[in-house]
Structure 1
Amino acid sequence: MTHDAGTHLSFWGATDTVTGSRYLLEHGGQRILVDCGLFQGYKKLRERNRAPLPLAPSSIDAVVLTHAHLDHSGYVPALVRDGFRGPVYATPGTAELCTLLLPDSGHLLEEEAETARLRGSSRHHRPRPLYTAADAVEALRSFRPHPFREPLGIGDGISVRFVPAGHILGASQVRVTLGAGGSELTVHFTGDLGRRDDPLMNPPEPLEPAQVLVAESTYGDRAHPAESAEDALGDVVRRVAKRGGVVVIAAFAVGRAETLMLHLARLRRKGKIPDIPVYLNSPMAVDASEMYRDHRDEHRIDEREFREMYNLPTMVREPDDSKLLNLRGGPMVIISASGMLTGGRVLHHVEAYGGEAKNAIVLSGYQAGGTRGASLLDGAGSLRIYGRDVPIRAEVVSLENLSAHADADEILRWMGACSAAPRMVYVTHGEPEASDALRRRIQHELGWRARVPEHLEQVDLADPR
Structure 2
Amino acid sequence: MNVHLRFLGAAGTVTGSKYLVEFSGQSLLVDCGLFQGYKQLRLRNRDPLPVLPNHIGAVLLTHAHLDHSGYLPLLAKEGFHGKVWCTPATRDLAQILLPDSGHIQEEDAAFANRKGFSKHAPALPLYTEGDALDSLKLLRTVPMGQPFEPLHGWTAQFFRAGHILGAASLLLEVGGKRILFSGDLGRPDDMLMLPPDPPPAADAVVIESTYGDREHPDEDTLAELGPALQRVAARGGTAVLPVFAVGRAQEILHAIALLKANGTLPHSLPVYLDSPMAIHTTDLYERHLGEHRLSAAQCHDMEHVAKMTRSTDESKAIAQQHGPKVVLAAAGMATGGRVLHHLVQYLGHHRNMVMLTGYQAPGTRGAALGDGAKSVRIHGQDVAVRAEVVQMRSASAHADASQLMDWLRALPQPPHRVFVTHGEMGASDALRHRIETELRWRAMVPEHGSTWAV
Q: Same fold (TM over 0.5)?
A: yes
Paired letter, 2:278: A
Aligned counterparts of 2:51 and 2:409: Cα–Cα separation in 1:
37
Paired letter, 1:422: P
1:316–1:322 CA contact under 8 A, matched in 2 = yes
Residue aligned with 2:452, SS: strand
Query: Which residue of structure 2 lines up, in the alignment, with residue 226 of structure 1?
Result: 218
Aligned partner (choices 4, 7, 29) of residue 8 of structure 1: 4
Residue aligned with 2:81, SS: coil
Question: Is the counterpart of residue 116 in structure 1 residue 144 in structure 2?
Answer: no
Paired letter, 2:5: L
Paired letter, 2:406: R
Aligned counterparts of 2:452 and 2:297: Cα–Cα separation in 1:
50
2:289–2:296 CA contact under 8 A, matched in 1 = no
Paired letter, 2:258: R
Q: Structure 2 matches for 1:319-398, cutoff 5 A?
A: 319-398=312-391
Paired letter, 1:375: A
Shift of 1:119: 2.5
Aligned counterparts of 1:296 and 1:304: Cα–Cα separation in 2:
11
Aligned partner (choices 149, 152, 169) of residue 148 of structure 2: 152
Residue aligned with 2:394, SS: helix
Shift of 1:273: 1.2
Paired letter, 1:86: G
Question: Is the counterpart of residue 37 in structure 1 residue 33 in structure 2?
Answer: yes
How many matched pairs?
453
Residue aligned with 1:349, SS: helix
Query: Which residue of structure 2 lines up, in the alignment, with residue 215 of structure 1?
Result: 207
Query: Which residue of structure 2 lines up, in the alignment, with residue 106 of structure 1?
Result: 102
Shift of 1:157: 2.1
Shift of 1:6: 3.8
Aligned counterparts of 1:435 and 1:178: Cα–Cα separation in 2:
27
Residue aligned with 2:408, SS: helix
Residue aligned with 1:195, SS: coil
Aligned counterparts of 1:240 and 1:116: Cα–Cα separation in 2:
33
Aligned counterparts of 1:219 and 1:40: Cα–Cα separation in 2:
17
**RMSD of aligned C-alpha atoms?**
1.0
Q: Which runs of 5+ in 2 are unaligned?
A: none
Paired letter, 1:31: S
Question: Is the counterpart of residue 459 in structure 1 residue 452 in structure 2?
Answer: yes
Query: Which residue of structure 2 lines up, in the alignment, with residue 278 of structure 1?
Result: 271
Shift of 1:383: 1.1
Query: Which residue of structure 2 lines up, in the alignment, with residue 447 of structure 1?
Result: 440
Question: Is the counterpart of residue 61 in structure 1 residue 57 in structure 2?
Answer: yes
Per-residue CA shift, 1:10-47, capped at 9, x if unaligned? 00000021000000001121101000000000000000
Shift of 1:292: 1.4
Query: Which residue of structure 2 lines up, in the alignment, with residue 436 of structure 1?
Result: 429
2:211–2:398 CA contact under 8 A, matched in 1 = yes
Paired letter, 2:100: D
Aligned counterparts of 1:57 and 1:302: Cα–Cα separation in 2:
42
- When normalised by structure 2's length, the TM-score is 0.98
Question: Is the counterpart of residue 261 in structure 1 residue 257 in structure 2?
Answer: no
1:6–1:29 CA contact under 8 A, matched in 2 = no
Query: Which residue of structure 2 lines up, in the alignment, with residue 399 of structure 1?
Result: 392
Paired letter, 1:302: S
Q: Structure 2 matches for 1:171-182, cutoff 5 A?
A: 171-179=167-175
1:175–1:188 CA contact under 8 A, matched in 2 = yes
Query: Which residue of structure 2 lines up, in the alignment, with residue 130 of structure 1?
Result: 126
Query: Which residue of structure 2 lines up, in the alignment, with residue 289 of structure 1?
Result: 282
Aligned counterparts of 2:214 and 2:322: Cα–Cα separation in 1:
37
Aligned counterparts of 2:273 and 2:373: Cα–Cα separation in 1:
26
Shift of 1:418: 2.0
- When normalised by structure 1's length, the TM-score is 0.96
Aligned partner (choices 161, 164, 171) of residue 157 of structure 2: 161
Q: Which moved further from structure 2: 112-121 or 439-448?
A: 112-121
Aligned counterparts of 1:126 and 1:418: Cα–Cα separation in 2:
52
Per-residue CA shift, 1:174-211, capped at 9, x if unaligned? 110113xxxx2110000000000001000000111110
Aligned counterparts of 2:119 and 2:297: Cα–Cα separation in 1:
53
Residue aligned with 1:215, SS: strand
Aligned counterparts of 2:32 and 2:323: Cα–Cα separation in 1:
41
Aligned partner (choices 235, 242, 248) of residue 240 of structure 2: 248
Residue aligned with 1:85, SS: coil
Question: Is the counterpart of residue 410 in structure 1 residue 403 in structure 2?
Answer: yes
Aligned partner (choices 73, 80, 87) of residue 84 of structure 1: 80
Query: Which residue of structure 1 lines up, in the alignment, with residue 186 of structure 2?
Result: 194
Paired letter, 1:220: G
TM superposition outliers: structure 1 runs of 4+ over 4 Å: none
2:37–2:363 CA contact under 8 A, matched in 1 = yes
Q: Which runs of 5+ in 1 are unaligned?
A: none
Aligned counterparts of 1:29 and 1:143: Cα–Cα separation in 2:
23
Identity of aligned residues (%): 51
Residue aligned with 1:297, SS: coil
Aligned counterparts of 2:341 and 2:120: Cα–Cα separation in 1:
26
Query: Which residue of structure 2 lines up, in the alignment, with residue 73 of structure 1?
Result: 69
Aligned counterparts of 1:367 and 1:350: Cα–Cα separation in 2:
16
Paired letter, 2:192: L
Aligned counterparts of 1:26 and 1:328: Cα–Cα separation in 2:
56
Question: Is the counterpart of residue 421 in structure 1 residue 414 in structure 2?
Answer: yes
1:15–1:429 CA contact under 8 A, matched in 2 = yes
Query: Which residue of structure 1 lines up, in the alignment, with residue 306 of structure 2?
Result: 313
Residue aligned with 2:137, SS: helix
Shift of 1:121: 2.3
Paired letter, 1:460: A
Per-residue CA shift, 1:159-188, capped at 9, x if unaligned? 110111011001000110113xxxx21100
